[in-house]
């Protein structure tokens, strides 16, 4: 079946469901008395308070949100009825109550015939459940029957939605068999249909989340699945009537779950339109924290006022996301613009109707609207979304391939983790051995060289011992030293080079980068570079006969370079092409190669020698660690 035809079929089913709903609501069973007035007294007494001066006649339905929005507790209602000729008092009669929020006790002629649960909080949450109370024929008098109903509910200010405030609907008395059909229809359209559509929506949400997890690039599918599943979870109160929590806690939890659901809806609209905004994502996350905090600050006595303001804000956010999505779809000439516009228009109509009900501009409907219409709309669009994904194999690859790819990815990650752990253990052992060797060199060989420096009578031996001591200290630093800032290393190299060339009467022109750098050199890199520079200076002093040396240091594209140029006699012709035959040149190039760099030597008779050293730099150091 083509996707368009299937979508039209689903839409027709939704419309047929709504029409059948309206027809069922308008049906009236015969042989029934309708009681639309009662004597009401606000009281938590165990029996109807006779002679209470506050008793007043009220019209049914009596919605506390309108008649007494601040009353929280119990209200007694008294009605009288005669069986009349239409009813046989010896038959089994019934009392049909379409809505009693939240708990209902019924007394007939002073005898309890129905109990709505415990007298105190937490009350049974039966606001959405119609009730059919059996009236035994033996208790019915031929005339003047007194029916007392005790409704225990919550004030409008203490709930988050108007339909959960206390109240009592019109009463219908008739033959029990005649009322069973009305009761069954009301249970189906008030409760069962909500359970069915939300269970289907939850299932669809789980499927979408699994598909989005398999195809990580399909973020809109994941957002839609999470939104659908979260919205379906809000219907848990239809399944779980006797929640062992007080009213304030239950209402707070419902409000707590509502904000993330709308945030996921906004994220779906934006991602489906190809929009990604860190600012909007941060604002939505902050909103999920700010709303619960504001509810806690306002307290349970101002819950309805606080949630009404938040519902208006959330509705405006949702409408804004809808308009942005439609604007982008229209601009990009997308093929799904019309279906998306229809879906968003229907969703907007449902939300506007709900806002009007919550503001008191429209009366409470006899059956839930938002809890049925919105899941049906989301179901229809979700099915269409899945059909789109199924028609695009490139977007949703074969599931087995994805699972195999995921297994390979996880296996490769485990292997990398194992290799990294093994390398870390080897590095730890190596570091301990380096520290041991460094300690032995410093404590044994270092002490002996220092003794020679201070006790030797020969100046030459003392000088050689001092140089050997400096080399030993440099080696120890390479084994255990900390990283060195590049600017500090340049300063050390410049001072040493200027001093040594100055002692040999060689002029030097040294230039380093002027700007400060947070780049660091590992201790090993610092030591090897120092030895390359020392070897270069040794060659200039011993072999070049130069009178002037120019040194240039630079940082370029993550590399550090040093160029050393002298005006000496250069390397003789007979050594042309054999510059690395000497031990000094070979060691310089090997050291540079070990550091993943290179050392090039350029020379010619009468033109001096140029040494070009290039080394890769590591990451920048944190401010605290680089000092």
Does the structure show a pLDDT above 70 at 169?
yes
Integer Cα distance of 357 and 349 in angstroms = 12
- In a 10 Å sphere around its CB, with 0-12 CB exposed, 13-18 middle and 19+ buried, how is residue 526 labelled? buried
pTM of the model: 0.56
Q: Which helix (H) or strand (E) holds 550?
A: strand 548-556
What are 433-448's pLDDT values in tens digits?
A: 666 666 655 556 655 5
| Class of 32-186 in CATH | mainly beta
Integer Cα distance of 165 and 96 in angstroms = 20
* Least confident range of 92-106, 114-128, 217-231: 114-128
The 3-state DSSP class for residue 137 equals helix
Does the structure show a pLDDT above 80 at 555?
yes
Q: Are 75 and 151 in contact (CB under 8 A)?
A: yes
What are 276-314's pLDDT values in tens digits?
A: 888 888 888 898 889 889 989 988 888 888 998 988 888
Taken in order 298, 299, 300, 302, the sign of the CA dihedral is negative
Same fold across 32-186 and 482-627:
no
Q: Which helix (H) or strand (E) holds 186?
A: helix 176-187
Hey, which residues does 42 pair with through a beta bridge?
75
Pairing of strands 62-63, 145-153: unpaired
Integer Cα distance of 189 and 372 in angstroms = 9
Please, where are the H alpha helices in 215-246? Answer: 219-233, 236-239
Q: Are 149 and 105 in contact (CB under 8 A)?
A: yes
Integer Cα distance of 264 and 280 in angstroms = 12
Integer Cα distance of 445 and 470 in angstroms = 12
Does the structure show a pLDDT above 50 at 25?
no
Residue spans of the domains in the chain: they are 32-186, 192-405, 415-481, 482-627
pLDDT at 335 (0 to 100)? 79
Give the fold, CATH level 3, of 482-627.
Answer: Heat Shock Protein 90 (3.30.565)
Integer Cα distance of 534 and 588 in angstroms = 10
Q: Are 29 and 181 in contact (CB under 8 A)?
A: yes
pLDDT at 259 (0 to 100)? 87
Please state, for a pLDDT cut of 70, what percent of the chain lies above it: 79
């Amino acid at each position: 079946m083509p996707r368009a035809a299937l979508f039209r079929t689903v839409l027709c089913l939704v419309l047929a469901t709504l029409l059948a709903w309206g027809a069922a609501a308008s049906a009236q069973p015969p042989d029934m008395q309708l009681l639309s007035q009662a004597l009401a007294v606000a009281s938590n007494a165990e029996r109807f308070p006779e002679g209470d001066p506050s008793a007043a006649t009220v019209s049914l339905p009596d919605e506390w949100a309108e008649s007494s929005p601040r009353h929280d507790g119990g209200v007694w209602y008294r009605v009288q009825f005669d069986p009349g000729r239409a009813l046989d008092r010896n038959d089994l009669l019934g009392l049909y109550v379409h809505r009693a929020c939240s708990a209902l006790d019924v007394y007939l002629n002073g005898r309890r015939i129905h109990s709505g649960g415990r007298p105190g909080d937490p009350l049974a949450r039966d606001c959405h459940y119609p009730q059919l109370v059996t009236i035994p024929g033996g208790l019915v008098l031929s005339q003047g029957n007194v029916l007392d109903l005790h409704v225990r509910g919550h004030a409008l200010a203490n709930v988050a939605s108007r339909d959960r405030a206390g109240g009592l609907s019109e009463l219908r008395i008739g033959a029990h068999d005649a009322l069973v059909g009305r009761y069954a229809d009301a249970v189906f359209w008030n409760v069962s249909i909500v359970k069915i559509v939300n269970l289907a929506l939850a299932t669809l949400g789980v499927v979408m989340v699994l598909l989005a997890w398999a195809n990580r690039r399909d973020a809109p599918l994941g957002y839609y699945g999470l939104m659908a599943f979260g919205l379906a979870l809000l219907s848990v109160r239809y399944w779980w009537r006797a929640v062992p929590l007080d009213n304030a806690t239950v209402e707070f939890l419902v409000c707590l779950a509502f904000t993330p659901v709308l945030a996921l809806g906004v994220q779906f609209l934006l991602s489906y339109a190809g929009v990604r905004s860190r600012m909007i994502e941060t604002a939505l996350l902050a909103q999920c924290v700010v709303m619960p905090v504001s509810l806690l600050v306002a307290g349970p006595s101002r819950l309805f006022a606080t949630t009404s303001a938040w519902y208006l804000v959330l509705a405006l956010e949702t409408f804004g996301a809808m308009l942005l999505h439609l604007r982008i779809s229209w601009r990009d000439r997308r093929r799904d613009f019309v279906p998306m516009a229809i879906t968003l228009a229907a969703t907007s109509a449902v939300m506007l109707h709900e806002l009007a009900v919550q503001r008191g501009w429209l009366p409470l409907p006899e059956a839930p609207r938002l809890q049925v219409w919105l899941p049906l709309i989301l179901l229809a669009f979700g099915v269409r979304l899945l059909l789109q994904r199924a028609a695009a194999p490139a977007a949703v690859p074969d599931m087995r391939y994805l699972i195999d790819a995921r297994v390979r990815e996880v296996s490769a990650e485990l292997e990398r983790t194992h290799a990294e752990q093994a390398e870390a253990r080897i590095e730890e052992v190596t570091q301990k051995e380096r520290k041991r060797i460094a300690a032995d060199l410093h404590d044994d060989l270092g002490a002996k060289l220092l003794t020679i420096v201070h006790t030797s009578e020969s100046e030459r031996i003392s000088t050689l011992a001092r140089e050997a001591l400096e080399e030993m200290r440099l080696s120890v630093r390479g084994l255990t030293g900390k990283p060195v800032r590049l600017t500090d290393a340049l300063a050390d190299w410049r001072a040493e080079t200027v001093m040594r060339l100055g002692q040999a009467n060689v002029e030097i022109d040294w230039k380093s980068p002027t700007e400060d750098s947070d780049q660091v050199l590992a201790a090993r890199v610092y030591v090897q570079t120092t030895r390359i520079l020392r070897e270069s200076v040794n060659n200039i002093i011993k072999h070049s006969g130069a009178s002037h040396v120019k040194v240039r240091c630079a940082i370029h594209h993550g590399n550090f370079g040093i160029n050393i140029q002298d005006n000496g006699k250069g390397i003789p012709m007979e050594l042309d092409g054999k510059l690395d035959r000497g031990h000094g040149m070979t060691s310089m190039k090997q050291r540079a190669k070990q550091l993943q760099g290179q050392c090039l030597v350029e020379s010619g008779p009468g033109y001096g020698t140029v040494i070009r050293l290039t080394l890769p730099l590591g990451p920048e150091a944190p401010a605290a660690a680089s000092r």
